[in-house]
Chain A
Amino acid sequence: MPTPAPRPFLERLPGSGRSLGAIAAGVAALAGGLAAFGGDVLMVVAALAGAAAGFVAGEIWRGTAGPETDATPPSPIELPPVRAPRPVPSRAPELTAQSLMDALPVPTIIVDETFVVRHANRPARDVFMALREGGPIALATRAPEFARAIEAVLTDGKTERVLLHERVPVERRLDASLSPLEADGGGVGAVLIVLHDNSERDRLAQMRADFIAHASHELRTPLAALRGFIETLQGPARNDAVARERFLGIMGSESQRMSRLLDDLLSLSRVEMRAHLPPTGEVEIVETVREVIESLAQIAKAQGTEVTLDAAVGNRMIRGDHDEIVQVFVNLIQNAIKYGNKGGHVRVTVSDIRSGASAWVRVAVTDDGPGIAEEHIPRLVERFYRVDDKSSREKGGTGLGLAIVKHVVTRHQGELRIDSRLGVGSTFAVEFPLDESK
């Protein structure tokens, strides 16, 4: 096989003070490189470097013996002599390069001289989903300057720093510091890579710009309508009771739409902000769907629509953000009620699917509405894309509901599938990978 057999690079480390010393030196070297990243990261790394160095010197886990206490001069009050604390045997696990790296809160990767990943801590695997130990570093990123930097560290033994700009699956900017790790026989045996994610900072700036652009553009129309009605009410229709009633009704619904639009823009911004961070919580799907359906009962009743839940499975846990998942189901079911037929039927189905070795849970929302023409289907998740502008506005749509769904689903490593036939109805299905540890 072309993939080289993993060399026991790390396995050598635990017993070997020399190699650990090299790691400590590498971490210490990084501390310098990380200075620009900000204070707390620097401190953590510096502390770890100290810890590793201390371990090599055989000091920190055993405690230090204090000065001799036998020669204490007699004191007026008899007190038991002060003794140095007895050395406590360490209960700490054996310190390995792995445990050191796993303790680091920043994404950290070790790559050997054949560009194979020897170790990647949890934050690193969260950043690069495809990354795996024993696999090529190219699974993390194939950015040309990254490979060049690794090569430079391996040849020159100097530290390198690269800025990475990833575009898929989510856009992010990473600042990578690369330092040499000394091999047993001298020379550079591996490269220690520490990453700092700058996406959030850049994204914030981008998000503000987008938010203002969209808000000002989308709010302009309803605002103009409101002003028009107000002017009419102040002028020609001042004493027209019938027109006043009608105009106030329209003004009410327009202003409601404006506030919904702002809500949706804010949710979308929030979701986009976190797009590069994997969700940390746990969500049980079936119960969540049930709760959402109950919360929408009023809206369904007003439309005369019946919403039924068909859950053929028991509890299904996924790794996810509860509020975001709730919003996905709210948006999908609300859409089905809104765009389905009045007095129609919305069916929500929860089922298991298997894809190769992985298990997924699928939630499908099916309506018996008019359906969506084929050419619109792939575009529905684009923000402000509307199949029918007029009908969407009448129904209070903001053009953002499915964009939010798509973003949440992507952040959760899931899939959104849309199936629709004109005159028959539409099915919007979301699929999430199950948390296999549950």
Chain B
Amino acid sequence: MEHTVKSYEAELVQLDQKLSQMGGLVERLLGDAFASLERRDPRLASEAIAADQAIDSLQKEIEELAISMIARRQPMAGDLRLIVSTLKVAGDLERIGDLAKNIAKRSLAVASESRPQSLILGLRHMAELAMRSLKNVLDAYMTRDDEKALKVWRADTDIDALYNSVFRELLTYMMEDPRNIGLCTHLLFGAKNIERIGDHATNIAETIHYMVRGKPLVDDRPKGDKTSVTLIDNDPGERN
């Protein structure tokens, strides 16, 4: 459909549609990236890496449209918040796309390494939570659903808790057998990327709250990532 710019309203709708389109691409990229890691599918990984370009160019389109709208229409109050929020959300989505692309790249690097399937289970669990958060927060954006956004915001502690657990698990594998180090390091970065994706979903949730309510979320964001202070004793009794 040709989007001839008819009115301000039409432009706002167009902005929403572009963001939704971008969201769809990012959701797909994240899903494909993790699937390529899990199933060791280099073809899927390459597709995912290539898809990031479309996301970047959509972000530019959204930026241009939003800036030109601000300049020409001089929006006020709710509309101004909406346009600024779209800009911010597009930025977060672009970052999520980058992080997902990075997972796809790592899957290329470890495609030939042998590994026990149990290693990927924790990561899979994390990826599922992150994909769910991303879907819910995008749905919340489209429906301006503050409550749904807050749910995503709170659910981020689950991803963090899982990340802590996966972090410990991977460290233990590395200590058990140094031959695991190469693979586990890539998986560790993959887990970190997913954890960061969760944080960006939380950012989007905060933006939605601001957009709908007109005031920022005052509480501190729930933070549960403790891996920066985690050390594991080299005690063989630790593993069960």
| A residues with CB within 8 A of B | 2-4, 113-115, 130, 132, 135-136, 138-139, 141-144, 146-147, 151, 154-155, 165, 167-169, 355-356, 374-379, 381-390
- Other-chain contact of A382, B27, B122, B131 (Cβ < 8 Å): B122
- Other-chain contact of A114, B13, B15, B125, B142 (Cβ < 8 Å): B13
Return chain B residues, CB-CB under 8 Å to A376. Answer: 165
Given A142-B20, A168-B135, A169-B135, verify A378-B240 contact (CB < 8 Å).
no
Is B183 at the interface (CB under 8 A from chain A)? no
Does A139 contact B24, Cβ atoms closer than 8 Å? Answer: no
Question: Could you say which of B96-104, B156-164, B193-201 contacts chain A?
Answer: B156-164
Q: A135-B142, A143-B28 are in contact. List 12 more A-B contacts (CB 8 A).
A: A2-B16, A2-B82, A4-B13, A114-B13, A138-B24, A142-B21, A142-B27, A167-B31, A167-B35, A378-B161, A378-B165, A384-B118
Is B121 at the interface (CB under 8 A from chain A)? yes
**Selected A-B contacts with CB under 8 Å, 19 pairs:** A2-B13, A3-B16, A136-B17, A138-B17, A138-B24, A139-B143, A142-B21, A144-B21, A144-B28, A147-B20, A147-B24, A154-B1, A375-B168, A376-B165, A378-B161, A381-B125, A385-B121, A387-B240, A388-B240
Does B139 contact A169, Cβ atoms closer than 8 Å? Answer: no
Does A136 contact B147, Cβ atoms closer than 8 Å? Answer: no
Interface residues of B in 132-165 (CB under 8 A from A): 132, 135, 138-139, 142-143, 147, 158, 161-162, 164-165
- Other-chain contact of B143, A135, A144, A151 (Cβ < 8 Å): A135
Is B25 at the interface (CB under 8 A from chain A)? yes
Is B23 at the interface (CB under 8 A from chain A)? yes
Is B9 at the interface (CB under 8 A from chain A)? yes
State the CA gap A132–B139 with chains docked (Å). 11
Does B135 contact A136, Cβ atoms closer than 8 Å? Answer: no
Return chain A residues, CB-CB under 8 Å to B17. Answer: 115, 136, 138
Given A113-B1, A169-B132, verify A375-B142 contact (CB < 8 Å).
no
Q: How large, as a class, is the contact surface on chain B?
A: 35 or more
Does A2 contact B15, Cβ atoms closer than 8 Å? Answer: yes
- Other-chain contact of A4, B9, B121, B122, B128 (Cβ < 8 Å): B9
Return chain A residues, CB-CB under 8 Å to B125. Answer: 378-379, 381-382
Is B65 at the interface (CB under 8 A from chain A)? no
- Other-chain contact of A2, B12, B25, B27, B28 (Cβ < 8 Å): B12
Return chain A residues, CB-CB under 8 Å to B161. Answer: 374-375, 377-378
State the CA gap A144–B138 with chains docked (Å). 14
- Other-chain contact of A139, B35, B122, B139, B168 (Cβ < 8 Å): B139
- Other-chain contact of B20, A130, A138, A377, A389 (Cβ < 8 Å): A138
How far apart are A339's CB and chain B's nearest CB, in angstroms? 14
